[in-house]
């Protein structure tokens, strides 16, 4: 959510930002907010005047009674009551205007960074840089689900019976590799100065609406029936929510945290679920990172964060690239975002394994996360980035370490978490 002062003072800039995101249907919201804001400030001023008049009259009542002027006191009491009635109606009007303004403000997209490329959707995202040489071996690499099944590591048929499409059983050494990746990610982030956390896996609706747009919420989140609780789609939601309504000490910034959690997503949309594979699912596990920092430092941390993911995958022999998200693919709360994509030697193309985002003060403004400076309180900036989401990240590791004989080489950095195991051998 942006500052309403920006809409008051620069409505044309806000509208231009909306146009660049190809959300022209939201243009009318700007004018509606300006009109409602004007009415709200008029109502607020009227309320202040009424309270002042009431206080002035009320102060006379005691003196009149003391001087035996009961009739005059009663007349003033009637006037005070009339003011109270008028004030009550005015306060209802103020509340109505405030709610209507907030509901519209929550739909206005954040102001994008000038460096964001303009494009309608993800097909117009821009490749920035590649890391590692994308290789295609001289032997066939099977579909990832077939590889994992040959290693005795996947049972989606049983998961279909217990839970339906979008779930899975990982087994044996593949399940162990999956957990090794997450354990390595945890230690990797700790070694890079992040505090490790395991957050709540459910959050309340006021946290959900604080960290994401309504559109994202409807498409992603599972609601717990008869409870004001949602299963998290990513741990950054509960991690940012940790600081809700807090005045963070300036000397504590930046706050750098890394978190493990299972994640649950509806995955509603044209992309659909993968019935055979493990790329798009209802359930997965993730190592995440978040930073709360001073506004002037957020872009610097943004660049450091996505590079951490690049180095993480490169340490496991996975070529990756950074893909800049264009304006039409940028979620409303974000000022800048990029994907880290891993090379698939089977498909001979890259696929997303992580996403890094700078949300400036949008989440902090919604959640009331501030710090105190010399000139008063102000909102911090928040950022988040995927270290690794598995089993999606597992696909990249398996494909890029797959051998001609059907085995998979365990990356050296993962072997300490696998009891020294160097290869996972096909069971067939």
pLDDT score for 269: 55
pLDDT score for 36: 96
pLDDT score for 267: 77
Which of 369, 422, 370 minimizes the C-alpha distance to 211? 369
**CATH code at 4-105:** 1.10.287.40
Q: 0.85 exceeded by the pTM?
A: yes
pLDDT score for 185: 98
Tokens of 208: 């959900």
CATH architecture of 122-424: 2-Layer Sandwich (3.30)
pLDDT score for 108: 95
pLDDT score for 85: 93
For the chain, residues classed under CATH 1.10.287.40 are 4-105
pLDDT score for 272: 60
For the chain, residues classed under CATH 3.30.930.10 are 122-424
**Which residue ranges of the chain lie beneath pLDDT 50?**
270
């Amino acid at each position: 959510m942006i500052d309403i002062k920006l809409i008051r003072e620069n409505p044309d800039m806000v509208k231009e930002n909306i146009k660049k995101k190809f959300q022209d249907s939201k243009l009318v919201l700007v004018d509606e907010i300006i009109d409602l804001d004007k009415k709200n400030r008029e109502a607020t001023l009227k309320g202040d005047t009424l309270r002042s008049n009431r206080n002035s009259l009320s102060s006379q009542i005691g003196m009149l009674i003391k001087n035996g002027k009961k009739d005059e006191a009663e007349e003033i009491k009637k006037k005070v009551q009339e003011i109270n009635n008028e004030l009550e109606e005015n306060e209802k009007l103020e509340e109505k205007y405030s709610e209507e303004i907030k509901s519209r403000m929550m739909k206005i997209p954040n102001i994008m960074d000038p460096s964001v490329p303009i494009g309608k959707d993800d097909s117009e995202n821009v490749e920035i840089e590649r890391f590692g040489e994308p290789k295609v071996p001289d032997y066939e690499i099977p579909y990832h689900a077939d590889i994992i099944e040959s290693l005795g590591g996947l049972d989606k048929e049983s998961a279909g019976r217990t839970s339906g499409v979008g779930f899975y059983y990982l087994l044996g050494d593949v399940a162990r590799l999956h957990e090794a990746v997450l354990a390595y990610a945890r230690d990797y982030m700790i070694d890079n100065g992040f505090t490790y956390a395991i957050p709540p896996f459910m959050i309340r609706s006021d946290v959900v609406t604080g960290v994401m747009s309504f559109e994202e919420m409807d498409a992603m989140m599972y609601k717990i029936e008869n409870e004001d609780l949602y299963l998290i789609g990513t741990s950054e939601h509960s991690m940012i929510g940790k600081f809700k309504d807090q005045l963070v000490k300036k000397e504590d910034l930046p706050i750098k945290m890394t978190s493990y959690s299972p994640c649950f997503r509806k995955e509603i949309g044209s992309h659909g679920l993968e019935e055979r594979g493990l790329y798009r699912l209802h359930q997965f596990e993730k190592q995440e990172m978040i930073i709360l920092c001073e506004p002037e430092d957020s872009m610097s941390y943004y660049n450091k964060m996505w590079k951490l993911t690049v180095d993480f995958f490169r340490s496991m022999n996975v070529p990756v690239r950074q893909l800049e998200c264009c304006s039409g693919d940028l979620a409303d709360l974000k000022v800048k975002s990029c994907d880290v994509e891993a090379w698939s030697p089977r498909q001979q193309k890259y696929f997303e394994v992580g996403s890094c985002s700078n949300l400036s003060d949008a989440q902090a403004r919604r959640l009331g996360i501030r710090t105190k400076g010399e000139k008063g309180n102000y909102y911090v900036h928040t950022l988040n980035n995927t270290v690794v989401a598995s089993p999606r990240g597992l696909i990249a590791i398996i494909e890029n370490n797959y051998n001609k004989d059907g085995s998979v080489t365990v990356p050296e950095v993962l072997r300490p978490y696998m009891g020294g195991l160097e290869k996972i051998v096909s069971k067939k």
